Every structure is written in structure tokens, then in C-alpha cells.
Chains A and B, each alone.
Chain A
């Protein structure tokens, strides 16, 4: 059997995405239990390898592991091991030698999950690689949209902001297209990837032209930390041209959604009150994060039926 991985959305394809979304309904039920824990992955060991700080994603994977009764090992690795002369390969081979079943990895450089998979027998889950992919974010976004709108097929989703530096955008475009949505990327040309016309999406630098038509406005975080030079004249001008203000939100059609992968720069890509807007499902996204990561881990490491996940009684 070839080892399964979730390095990028292409590892799953439409059927893999569907499978994880279906699993998520089961794990949603588990999460609502009084003791939200099942022994589904008891005896499995999951290494969380974070080369880049991420409290939210790391906690979400750690919680998911615990709710599945897996053991999780936390490695926070700064750039120091590189400076000590240890290569990425050395690190991965060392961790693999400890006997782990899955490695969840976040790294500041694109492609690291693909390299890892060559150096380990463990299943690899990408928790974000540079500006490349963030597949579990895309999965939880698909799940959130599906819960709200029923399905993605035929929906118009506009992703707005710093597409160029966004791993969320790259994974989401693939996942949204796979599930039949149409996607428009909205950004000034400085933040639009070169050749993004080839991605099977529409592109525009006119935010106002898509607002009334979109079923979902997916607002990206301005990745201030990833930008070396100014890609926009000022954050104020960016907010004016591409920020989702309350007045822009009023032009959205009924039943449409506002999404954001967090953390938000309030007053930049979204107004400070947008989270409270009735169209916002930003809190749902966060809540679905743990569920999706349980599904992703179970998809790779679990066996047997999930129709009846036996839990723990609470006496």
C-alpha cells in the first residue's frame, strides 16, 4: 500500500476532500460529547514539527491528536539546528527513528512536506509550507462553507488580498475548484502571483466589482511579515481599496459569507467590527479547525468504521 500523505490538496483530490468532509460530521458529533474523546488512534504517535511559530495551528493539531487518543510529540525547532550544521534531512531521520506514525510539519520554506516524505516512513501532513500550501486550512474552509451554504458546487468565491504570499490562497483555490466552485482572485497587481491566470480562476484588481456577485468573500491577512518591500503604498490605501468595510459588506448579497483565516489585522483587510457581522463565519472556521484536523489524522492513520465511534463514558 502506498503511504498516504496530505502534503497539498492534490494529494487528496476531490474524493479525498469529500471523504474528510464526511468524516468531519462524525468528529463534530464526538466534539459535542461530554467527553469529546475517542480511542480511534490509541497507540499512534504524532510528531508536531513546527519550524515556524504558529500557536493556533499547532494547538489545533495537538487538541485533535489528544481527542483521538494519539500521543503527540512537540518539536519547536528554530533555525538553530540549521546553524549547528544539522540538515533538515538529519532532523527528520532522527525524529523518524523515534518511531512516529505521522509528522505534522510547518516550515517557512515551500516544499518541505515533499522533502520530508522522502526521508521518513511516517505519514506527512502539511501545516503550512512557506507561501505554497496549507491544506487543512482549505479543508476547514470547505467544511465551513458547506455547513452554511449546503454545497460549494456553482458558488462564486472571491479571495481578496495578498494572494502572492498566501499559502491559504493556493490551497483554497485548488480545493474550491475541485468541489465545483468558481473562484475570483482580487488583489492589486503587486500582490497577484505571476501567471495566476493559469490557475483556472478569474483575476481582478477591482474589489468593488465582485462584492455583489460573490457567495463568499474570503479576506486574506496582509502578510506584513512576509513582505520585504512595500507592495502597496500604505496600509491605509490598501484598506481603502481592498478592505472589507462595513459599507462594502452592506453590498453583499443575502446568504453570502465573510471568511478570514485569522489572525485578522483589524482595520486593514477587514473593519474592526466585521467579526460581529451576521455574514461572518470566522468563528465557525476556528471551531471547525480541530474537527478537520481530527479527520485528517484519522484519514491517514485510522482504520475501521467511523459510523459508531465508541467514546469514553463519563462516570
Chain B
């Protein structure tokens, strides 16, 4: 790797915002940031933002048993194309990281990845949701985040014990609050639209009840919790109140939940079938008002084989891709300063994931060059067929976005150049 100079950009990181050149040394580390620097190889980034790379807290990247939806290669190519330099991979279905050897196997897969992969463990056993997995053993393998959404929340005792036991290892428990206890058949937001379409709804209050229950348990036990894909304003208010009472809680919202509303479902197109469901316009507006108290934007990137989405709405699986749309959707739909958007995409999730020493943070000499370079002004229309993800059916199809990543650097290496993902040849 030769010395690389990013010339003429506006550099934004956790504590700074200035026009400066960024020099990256042959080790892939930031050598210097300043005006009028010289380097052997130069990339002109005038008019662009140079930011610490994005960190996604919630993505599904396929796995050994599901190569058709996404693979580590396609998934991380999708990530870097979206400006991500690290992705938390959440296992689903049969690939469950509920013991140290599975975790290690998953970690080995990241050899093929275009960006850093953070493997999340599972806090319960795959075949027994009422039993805690060996948190200590898995945490010793280097896991800091544990998916804990498995057991239905009526099993409060297991939930509480996991929260208590987890604290010895200083890990964070991830909860997605989309239990179906109020709506076993629900597939979209409950409201005027579901009522008109005759589609079973999921009330917002189902999420809010779960968020309330878990945040009270967090207060009781002192555990670190992170709420995935929060989709209602009331949920954020409940979290804020628990935070102010001392709970160690963070939360994320997903790009599609702030940019797409339930009315898209009048087309009955299963690309809009996601969990939590797309909410009402009014709800989205209220969520946006509270966005500055949210801790991260996370995609919930959930690819599936295209043909599975060519089914009746009720029959198709939940989920949409999001890695390549997150920045554009955030700039387009959030009326907050760019730096605040970058907090949500980069340094705040890096802290939650426990990787703030290498991702996010401040761009200072000596740090690995994990960077996203993007034009915040360009508007473009999302087309699933042109994306790096294997899954081309996406909720963002034909949606106008603002802000496009042109280059991504992972450990100093240019993995995306002029919007094109490079062969990583690892």
C-alpha cells in the first residue's frame, strides 16, 4: 500500500469540521491532517465530505447456510458502497452464535469481507430460548454485543437473569421489540391504511409495551441494553425517560422507518413488508422530532431471495436491504445538521459496538484510516438492480435520496473508488 492523499475535502469527525487534506501512510493509518499536504498518490475529493466511516449495528449478511440471500462478500460490498467500514452481523435462523466455536467460525468468514465484521452473539440457546447461552465463553472469544430478542417477553425471569449475568462481561444486549403478542397475524402498521386494506395490523403500542418492560428491567438490573429498529416516538420517549433515570440504554432507528410510510403498502408490494412495520406519516414526523436523542441509525439490512418478495403481501418474508440507502435516506429525510447525521451513522454506533478505537471517533494521526467520502448534495434515485447487495428487491426502489458515497477506505485501503466497489483480493 502506498501513501495516499485525500485532497481538498471537508473533513468531519466527532469533534471537528474543517477543510483539510488527509494523508494516509503505507500502513493504512492516518499520517497527517492539514492544509497543503503532499502524497505519492492523490485523490481529488474537492466538494466532498471526508468522514469517519459508518458503522452499522444491525445487518444480516447471509451465512454458511444461506448463500442465496446474501453472502459475506456481497453483503460487505453493499456495506462499503454505502460508506460503511464496519458492520455488526446479526445471525438469524439456523446460524446462531450461541457458543464460542460458532462465533469463531463466523469470525473466520470475515476474511472474505470488504469491511470489518463484528459478530454479534446470541444471549440464549438456539434450540432453547429459555436458556442463557455461555455468555462468558462467547465474550472471551471477543464478542461484545449479544442478540437477546429470542424469548417471548412473557419469560421475564430469563430476560432478567440474562441482564444480571451479562454485567460481569461488560457486554451489551440487543433487543428488537417486535414480538407479536398483540397481533399474531399482523404484517403492517395498524391504522387507517391497514383497516382499509383488510390487512392485519401491528399496533404501535405493541412495540412501546415491550420497550417499557425492557427499560424497566434495565433500570432494575443495571444491564447495558441497545434497542434495535425503534419505530415510534413514544418508544423513544420511554427510552429517554429510562436514560434520565440512569438506565444504560441506547437505541437505533432504521433509514426506511424515517423515509417510507405505511401508504406505500396500498400497492400491496411485499418490498414494503418490514418488521417493525412502516408507520404512519404522523408517527414518522414525531420520530424525526426526537431524532437528536436517538443513538444510531442502523439499517436492519435484511436481504432475501428476490422471488420470495414476489408473493402476496401476507405470504412474503419481512425485511428490506438498507446499507446502500442509509446515508442518502438520512440526508434526504432528516432536517438536522450533517454532523448530527454523521454522529448517528458513524461515531455513536462505533461506541455502542465497542470499536471506537478504530472506527468513528476523531481522525487523528496514528488511527486506522476507516473513512467514507461522499457528496452530500447530489440527489439520485435508488435502483435495486444496480446495488451490490445480492437482493435487488428493496423498499427503497425508485425513492429519491440525497447524498452519495464515492469512496470508502477500510484500514487505509480504497475499497470503493468513484462509486465502484474494488476487488478486495484478500
Contact = CB atoms under 8 A, between A and B. Distances in A.
Contacts of A132: 197-199
B93 interface: no
Given A90-B310, A194-B191, A195-B191, A110 B198 contact: yes
B279 to A, nearest CB: 14
Given A89-B307, A109-B315, A228-B184, A130 B195 contact: no
B318 to A, nearest CB: 15
B212 interface: no
A111 interface: yes
**Majority secondary structure, B binding face:** loop
B310 A131 contact: no
Given A132-B199, A228-B184, A112 B312 contact: yes
Contacts of A194: 190-192, 194-195, 201
B60 interface: no
B95 interface: no
A198 B185 CA distance: 23
A32 B336 CA distance: 71
Contacts of B269: 115
Given A90-B307, A109-B312, A130-B314, A195 B195 contact: yes
A313 B328 CA distance: 69
A219 B59 CA distance: 49
B310 A88 contact: yes
A199 B195 CA distance: 10
B183 to A, nearest CB: 10
A112 B308 CA distance: 14
Interface string B271-311: 00000000000000000000000000000000000011011
Nearest to A165: B198
A126 B268 CA distance: 14
A46 B199 CA distance: 28
Pick the most buried of A87, A115, A228: most chain B CB atoms within 10 A of its CB: A87
A198 B194 CA distance: 12
Pick the most buried of B198, B310, B312, B315: most chain A CB atoms within 10 A of its CB: B198
A76 interface: no
Nearest to B268: A111
A194 B189 CA distance: 11
B197 A82 contact: no
A51 B203 CA distance: 29
Nearest to A111: B268
Interface string A86-126: 01111000000000000000011111101100000000000
A312 B149 CA distance: 68
Interface in B199-228: 199, 201
Contact of B199 (A87, A110, A198): A110
B387 to A, nearest CB: 20
Contacts of B314: 108-110, 130
Given A90-B310, A109-B314, A110-B313, A170 B194 contact: no
A112 B268 CA distance: 8
Interface residues of A, number: 30
B195 A111 contact: no
A162 to B, nearest CB: 12
Contact of A170 (B192, B198, B307, B313): B198
A133 interface: yes
B191 A87 contact: no
A91 to B, nearest CB: 10
A165 B200 CA distance: 9
B198 A88 contact: no
B181 to A, nearest CB: 12
A87 B308 contact: yes
B311 A82 contact: yes
A110 to B, nearest CB: 5
Nearest to A229: B184
A89 B310 contact: yes
B310 A109 contact: no
Given A115-B268, A194-B201, A87 B311 contact: yes
A112 B269 CA distance: 9
B310 to A, nearest CB: 4
A89 B269 CA distance: 12
B267 interface: yes
Contacts of B267: 111, 114
Contacts of A199: 196
B170 to A, nearest CB: 42
A167 interface: yes
B199 A195 contact: no
Interface in B234-266: none
A196 interface: yes
Contacts of A115: 268-269, 310, 312
A115 to B, nearest CB: 6
A114 B312 contact: no
A132 to B, nearest CB: 4
Given A110-B313, A111-B268, A130 B199 contact: yes
Interface in A281-297: none
Pick the most buried of A89, A110, A115: most chain B CB atoms within 10 A of its CB: A110
A90 B307 CA distance: 8
A85 interface: yes
Pick the most buried of B190, B191, B267, B315: most chain A CB atoms within 10 A of its CB: B315
Contacts of B197: 110-111, 132
Contacts of A167: 198
A112 B312 CA distance: 6
A289 B129 CA distance: 52
B35 to A, nearest CB: 55
Nearest to B188: A110
A78 interface: no
A107 B199 CA distance: 13
Contacts of A133: 198
Nearest to B265: A111
A114 B195 CA distance: 17
Contacts of A193: 195, 198
Given A89-B311, A228-B185, 16 more contacts: A85-B307, A88-B315, A107-B312, A109-B312, A110-B312, A111-B267, A129-B198, A130-B198, A165-B198, A193-B198, A194-B195, A195-B195, A196-B195, A198-B192, A199-B196, A229-B184
12 contacts: A82-B315, A88-B311, A109-B314, A111-B199, A111-B267, A114-B268, A115-B269, A130-B199, A131-B199, A133-B198, A170-B198, A194-B191
Interface pairs A-B: 6 shortest CB-CB: A111-B268, A109-B312, A131-B198, A89-B310, A132-B198, A87-B310
